[in-house]
Amino acid sequence: MKIALAQLNYHVGNFEYNSNKIIEAIKKSQSDGCDLIVFSELAVCGYPPLDLLEREEFIEQCTDQINVIAQECNTITAVVGCPSINTEPNGKKLFNSAFVLSEGKVQSVHHKTLLPNYDVFDEYRYFQPNSEFNLIELKGKKLAITICEDLWDEQPVANSFAKSKLYTQSPMKELKQLNPDMVINIAASPFSYNQGQIRQQIITQKAAKNNIPFIYVNQIGANTELVFDGSSLVVNSQGKVTKQLSSFNEDIQYCTLEDIDSNQTFELAPYDKMALINEALVLGVKDYFNKMGFKKATLGLSGGIDSAVTVVIAAQALGAENVRVLLLPSKYSSDHSIKDAEDLAKNLGIQYDIVPIKDVVESYDSTLAPLFTGLNADVTEENIQARIRGTLLMALSNKFGHILLNTSNKSEAAVGYGTLYGDMNGGLSVLGDVYKTDVFALARYMNRNKEIIPVNTIVKPPSAELRPDQKDSDSLPDYDILDQILFNYIEKNESPQKIIDSGFNKDTVNKAVRLVNINEYKRFQTAPIIRISSKAFGLGRRIPLVSKI
């Protein structure tokens, strides 16, 4: 049996595009003598379709396209992810399904059993869980079909309070009783910088435990916040990886049953956190623009580390010719910051303009003077500068049709160190899931072969430059400490007391946690954030705005 693994980039709701992509892969694999081709979860409609699943015409288009795709399967069998209608009188209207297509028609439909309802997932909102288990036969072999979470009944983070008792059923235990010769898993598994290792651990352990080879096909691409890295796998019955497809790229590869269960293992690339984050962010920006029909980006280039890393990602994703930046110095901006920003723009070959804001700030001060008589300058005046910059950037965005990229990092977003309607403006947050310490590491990674970001930008103390000699450390703990506290509180969901007990200063922890809690309303109003961690702000972290915690 010759099998094709089709790891493709789908566009949510773009049925003709997705269908054509699937059919093209079927025709090519069919002509190359493949017996089976496997696509990813909800390939026909794209993942995640969210509340589009509640529209009748959306589901009708899914059904129509499955039938169109089936007609192309003449000498090949295809496994394609698509929603299907639940015909039983009770339960949810839909299943999350894998369609088996051959001989020009739908031969069978297999439903997802475990429906994740945590972090960014909300599948039980739409789908009915599967309760029947069966196999398909092809070329004398019995194949079990599972869908993504069906392999995740045993979560690797057993010490997690939220995930300690997720499921009461194991699809693999049910399927194992039917003695399959191979397990196929079609997936839409989002990227985080440690997800690849966890995912591989889950699949290899399942294969070894059940003594069955596995084919795992994941999608690639980005749909707003979520990035999918692909990294599809073939695993032998001993739990060894014998093939891995590309990461962050479309890829179609062939294998035979002999290849799948061979003893020749695939040499996996060494883990490189910054390389993975860089690729994920580039793909996130690229697909957001392509799928939304945008072409050009703009942002404010300050000479600081966040805007520097953001503009490098934008240039990688869109091309230098499609990035235009504004340098917006105030009377507090240092000469070296302006020079650093200019040098970076020249290094990248992007268009830049210098628009000083001193006169605009003075006009605001003059206008507000009668209202502020007798009051000392404070954060109000600092925020005015940030909002002036935000207004000028939005003016450029409106006039030329450029999308403003937000440059705030996760540390700042967590503690509210940003100005609403100012530096928090933007259509997409590029670094909103990247802690400040990782932003510095990412900058050093970008400079690994040659200096792109000026070294001074990386080594100087971070500053918003909104008042004389301002430094971030005037208001916040050092980022080396702050980021560890934030990681434990946000990603690990630890209590303040537990963080204190692990060795962090009590006052520092309480201050950081208080800032996180009182700034939920700010994050609620921010741009979509490209997710690269296990717990990003946005869809995956839902905290009441008015809670008292």
Q: Residues with catalytic annotation?
A: 41, 112, 148
One-letter amino acid identity for 73? Answer: C
> What's CA 108's distance to the chain center, in Å?
32
Q: Which residue matches tokens 């950037």?
A: 393
CA distance 439 to 31: 47
Token pair, residue 181, equals 């010769």
Angle at 490 between CA 486 and CA 494, to 5 degrees: 95
Q: Who contacts 481 (Cβ-Cβ below 8 Å, separation ≥6)?
A: 504, 505, 508
**Distance between CA atoms of residues 438 and 70, nearest Å:** 46
Distances (CA, A) of 213 to 108, 259, 513: 22, 10, 46
**Measured torsion, CA atoms of residues 447, 453, 459, 460, in degrees rounded to the nearest 10:** -170
Q: What backbone torsions phi and psi does residue 56 show, to the nearest 5 degrees?
A: -60, -40
Tokens, residue 430: 């590029």
Q: Please check whether residue 538 is in contact with residue 531, taking contact to mean a CB–CB distance below 8 angstroms.
A: yes
Residue with tokens 């749909």: 223
What are 529's strand-pairing partners?
429
Count Cβ atoms within 10 A of the Cβ of residue 541 and give its class: 0-12 exposed, 13-18 middle, 19 or more buried: middle
The encoded tokens of residue 492 equal 């690990």
Any idea of the CA torsion for 354, 434, 429, 338, to the nearest 10 degrees? 0
Question: Longest C-alpha distance within the chain, in Å?
Answer: 88
Residue 298: partners with Cβ closer than 8 Å, 6 or more residues away:
323, 324, 325, 326, 393, 396, 397, 400, 402, 403, 404, 405
